[in-house]
Structure 1
Amino acid sequence: MTNPLQRRPKQDGRHTPNLWPVWLVAPGALLLVGATAFGLYHGAELLLSSETTGKKPVGVQDVIKTTVTVLTLIGAVLAALYAYRKQLLDEGTSHRADSTQLTERYTKAAEQLGHEQAAVRLAGVYAMARLADDWPEQRQVCVDVLCAYLRMPYETETTAPAFRHGEREVRLTIIRTIRDHLQYPTTTNTWCGHNLDFTGATFDGGDFGGSNFSGGAVDFNSSTFSSGEVFFSGSTFSGGAVDFSGSTFSGGEVDFSSSTYSGGEIDFSSSTYISGNSRYTNGKVSFLVSAFSGSRVFFGGSAFFGGEVDFRGSTYTSGTVEFGDSQVLSTATVHWGPFPPIPVNHP
C-alpha cells in the first residue's frame, strides 16, 4: 500500500521536480503559519513588556504591529519559496520539451538510416552522431544504432542482387564518425568508454586510426575483413576488453602498426588469416612497431593460411602475448619479431 506521506517517486525519463503533494503541503503550511503567528504575538508581547519594565505598559497595537512586521518578513520568505517551486516546475516543463525534441530527432535520424537512397542514409549518420553529442543520457543508444548499421548484412560484390549503390560510402562514413569521437578521451562529447559492438560485421575498408579504445567493451567478434584497407594504426588499447576472436582476415590490409596495448585484454584467438581474393592476393595484417605493455593479448587457436602477418619492431615490456595452438601453413608468412623473455607463447 502506498504511503500518502511519501513524496512522489522519481520516474526515469521524467523531469518533474520531486515535490510533496499540494493537499498535504497546503494545510501543513497554514498550521505552521498560524502557530508561528501565535508564538510571535506572545513572544513580542513578552519581549516588549520586559524592555519597558517600570515604564508605560506596552499597548496591544505595538504588539500587533511588531507581529505583523515579522509575519510580513515570513510572508516574503514564503513567496520566495513559492517562486522557487514555480521555477522548478517551469524547468521541468522545459526539460520535458527538450526530451520530446531529442526523441523526435532520434526517430527522424533512425528513419533516415533506413532510407533507400544513400544520400539520405548519410544524412541520418550525421544526424545520429550529432544527437549523441547533444544527448549524453542516451549517447550509448545512439552509438548502438550506428554500430548495428555496420552489423547488418552487407554485399560487397557489385554484381550481386543485394548490392546497394552508395552503401560502402555510408559505412565508411560511420567508421570515420566513430573514429573522430574516439580521438580525445577527455572531451565532453567523447565516445571513449562506451560499448562498441561490431559482432559479425563485414569491413571492406575504413579508418579507425588513432582511436582510443579505453574502457567499455569493443567487440569485433566473428567480423570479416574482406578487402580494402582497414586502419587501426596508432590506436591505443587501454583498459576494458577488445575482442577480435573468431574474425576472418581474408584480403586487403588490416593495419595495427604503431598501436599501444596497455592494460585490459585484447583477444585475437581463433581468428583466421587467409590470402585475399582475386583483387587482393596479398592479404596483410600488420602489428609493426606496436607496443605491448601490461595487457593480455591472445592469438591462441588462430590459423594463418596465407598472406602476411607482421610483428617486427614491436616491443613487449610486460603482460602476456599468447600464440598457443596456432597453425601456420607454408603459404603464410609470419614475421614474429624479437620476443623478449616475458610470458609469450608462439609456434
Structure 2
Amino acid sequence: MTPNRRPQPSSDDRELRLWKVGRALVVTFAAAVLVAGGVFYSLLYLLDFQEIDSTAKLDAKTLFDLVKLSFGVVAGAGALVALVVAYRRQRVDEVGAHREATRLHTERFSVAVDKLGSDSPAVRLGGVHALAGLADDAPDNNLRQTCIDVLCAYLQLPFTPDPGDDPAHQEEHHRYLALRKVRHTILRLIGDHYRRPQGTRRSWQGCNLDLTGVTIDGRIDFNGATFSVGGEVSFNDATFSDGGWLSFRGAEFSGSDVTFNRARFSGGTVAFDAATFSRGRVFFRRATFSGSRVFFGGASFSGSRVSFDGATFSGGTVTLREATRSDGGVFFHGATFSGGRVAFDDATFSGGTVSFRDATGPAPSGLLTGVGTPTSVSIILSSAWLGSNP
C-alpha cells in the first residue's frame, strides 16, 4: 500500500456537485429552446423556404394550430421539469442507498474488527473471514481498501515466538499454533483473491497490499495472478523464515511494483518461475539473502526492471536459469557476494542491461559464460571480474 494513494470520489462527493433545481431547470430549458430553434431553421433551409407572406390573414385553422403549438410548448416545458425532478430524485435515492450500504458496512466492519481483537483464536479467525467478506461486498473501493489494510496490519503486529513443545510451555505452544493459524489464513485469503481467473469476480484487483515488516512463515500463492498499472505489493523489511513460501509462478507484472527492499531471506522460498515482467518492477534493494531460495527460472523481462542494488548474498540461492531478458534490466549495483549461490546458467541476454557495477565477491555462476567475450555493452561487470576466466 502506498501512503500517498489518491482517494477515489464517493457517491456523496458527486452528489455535492449537482446543480440546484432552479439552475438545472433554466439550463435544461435554454438547451431545449436552442435545440428546437436549430431544428426549426434546419427545416426551413432544407425546405428552401424563402419568406413569410406578410399579406396573409389569420384564419380559424391557423389560430387553432397556434393554440395547439402553445399547449405543446407548455407540455414540453412541463416534461422538462418532470425530467429534471426525476433525475434529482434518482440521484438522491442513489446517494441514500449508498449511505445506507455504507452504514451497514461500517456496522459489520466494527463487529469484524472487534472479533479480530478477541483473546480467542477461534473468534479472531471468524473476524478474518468476516473482513475478507466485507472487502468483497464493500460499496466502493475506499472501503474495500480499508478492509484489506486491516488484514495486512494484523500480519504486521508483533507476535510471541513459539516457546517449543516443552510440556512446561504446552499451553503457550498451543496458543502460538492457534494464532499462527489465523495469520496463515490471512495469507491464504490474500493469495486466493489475487489468483481468481479472468471472467470471475475479482473484487480485490487494483487494491494495494502493504506487507511491510511481516514474517512470512506460511504460504502465499500468487500463481497466474495479474498485477496491472497502479497496483503495488510491498514486502519491505519482511522476514522470510523456514516454512515460508511465496510464489508468483506464471504471474504477469504489467506496470506494477513488487518490493522486497531491506527484506531478510533466512529461509523459505520465493518463486518467480515463468513470470512475465512487462513494465513491471521488482525491487530487492539492500535485501539480505542468508538462507532462502529465490527463483526466476524461465522468467521473461521485457521493458521491466529487477533491482538487487546493495543486496547482500551470504547464503541461500538466487537463480535466473533460462531467464529471457529483452529491453529490460537486472541490477546488482553495489551488491555483496560472500556466500550462497546466484546462478545465471542458460540465461539469455538479448537486450536491455544487466549491471554488477561496484559489486564485490565472486562472480555469480554462469554469468561470465553467458555474457561471452568481449562483454556486450549492455552487460556491466564489476571491475574485479574483468579478465576472470569463465
For normalisation by structure 2, the TM-score amounts to 0.66
Which residue in the other structure is 1:344 paired with? 354
* In structure 2, distance between residues paired with 1:50 and 1:115: 91
Which residue in the other structure is 1:214 paired with? 228
2:211 maps to 1:198: yes
Within the candidate set 322, 326, 329, 1:313 is matched to 322
Q: Which moved more, 1:179-188 or 1:310-319?
A: 179-188
Measured after TM superposition, the shift of residue 298 of structure 1 is 0.9
Measured after TM superposition, the shift of residue 249 of structure 1 is 0.7
* In structure 2, distance between residues paired with 1:270 and 1:69: 77
* In structure 1, distance between residues paired with 2:12 and 2:69: 49
8 Å CA contact 1:118–1:165 kept in 2: the answer is: no
Q: Secondary structure at the match of 1:324?
A: coil
Which residue in the other structure is 1:153 paired with? 158
* In structure 2, distance between residues paired with 1:285 and 1:70: 75
Percent identical pairs in the alignment equals 38
Q: What is the root-mean-square deviation of aligned Cα atoms in Å?
A: 3.8
Superimposed CA distance per residue, residues 231-290 of structure 1 (whole angstroms, 9 cap, x where no aligned partner): 314122221222111111101333332322221321112111113xxxxxxx42222232
2:195 maps to 1:180: no
Task: Provide closer, same or farther for how the CA distance between residues 108 and 69 of structure 1 changes in structure 2, counting only shifts above 3 A.
Answer: same
Q: Secondary structure at the match of 2:342?
A: strand
Task: Provide closer, same or farther for how the CA distance between residues 191 and 72 of structure 1 changes in structure 2, counting only shifts above 3 A.
Answer: closer
Task: Provide closer, same or farther for how the CA distance between residues 81 and 316 of structure 1 changes in structure 2, counting only shifts above 3 A.
Answer: closer
* In structure 2, distance between residues paired with 1:238 and 1:221: 20
Within the candidate set 291, 297, 305, 2:306 is matched to 297
Task: Provide closer, same or farther for how the CA distance between residues 19 and 204 of structure 1 changes in structure 2, counting only shifts above 3 A.
Answer: closer
* In structure 2, distance between residues paired with 1:201 and 1:79: 57
Unaligned runs of 5+ in 1: 1-9, 29-48, 276-282
Q: Secondary structure at the match of 2:237?
A: coil
Which residue in the other structure is 1:105 paired with? 108
Within the candidate set 27, 52, 61, 2:59 is matched to 52
2:171 maps to 1:171: no
* In structure 2, distance between residues paired with 1:70 and 1:308: 81
Which residue in the other structure is 2:343 paired with? 335
* In structure 2, distance between residues paired with 1:324 and 1:72: 76
Q: Secondary structure at the match of 1:101?
A: helix
Q: Secondary structure at the match of 1:164?
A: helix
Measured after TM superposition, the shift of residue 110 of structure 1 is 1.9
For these two proteins, the number of residue pairs brought into alignment is: 307
For normalisation by structure 1, the TM-score amounts to 0.73
Which residue in the other structure is 1:225 paired with? 240
Q: Which moved more, 1:238-247 or 1:159-168?
A: 159-168
Within the candidate set 136, 145, 148, 1:133 is matched to 136
1:29-44 → structure 2 map (5 Å cutoff): none
* In structure 1, distance between residues paired with 2:343 and 2:72: 90
8 Å CA contact 1:14–1:96 kept in 2: the answer is: no
Letter in 2 for 1:334: V
* In structure 1, distance between residues paired with 2:72 and 2:89: 26
Which residue in the other structure is 2:31 paired with? none
* In structure 2, distance between residues paired with 1:81 and 1:326: 66
Within the candidate set 110, 116, 130, 2:119 is matched to 116
Which residue in the other structure is 1:262 paired with? 278
8 Å CA contact 1:232–1:259 kept in 2: the answer is: no
Superimposed CA distance per residue, residues 18-68 of structure 1 (whole angstroms, 9 cap, x where no aligned partner): 66668x78xx9xxxxxxxxxxxxxxxxxxxx96536x9xx99xxx999978
Task: Provide closer, same or farther for how the CA distance between residues 310 and 97 of structure 1 changes in structure 2, counting only shifts above 3 A.
Answer: same
Letter in 2 for 1:137: N
Task: Provide closer, same or farther for how the CA distance between residues 297 and 118 of structure 1 changes in structure 2, counting only shifts above 3 A.
Answer: same
Which residue in the other structure is 1:143 paired with? 148
Task: Provide closer, same or farther for how the CA distance between residues 232 and 69 of structure 1 changes in structure 2, counting only shifts above 3 A.
Answer: closer
Measured after TM superposition, the shift of residue 328 of structure 1 is 2.3
Q: Secondary structure at the match of 2:334?
A: coil
* In structure 1, distance between residues paired with 2:157 and 2:346: 40
* In structure 2, distance between residues paired with 1:180 and 1:195: 15
* In structure 2, distance between residues paired with 1:191 and 1:310: 31
Q: Secondary structure at the match of 2:95?
A: helix
Letter in 1 for 2:253: F
Q: Secondary structure at the match of 2:153?
A: helix
8 Å CA contact 1:17–1:88 kept in 2: the answer is: no
* In structure 2, distance between residues paired with 1:120 and 1:317: 50
8 Å CA contact 2:220–2:245 kept in 1: the answer is: yes
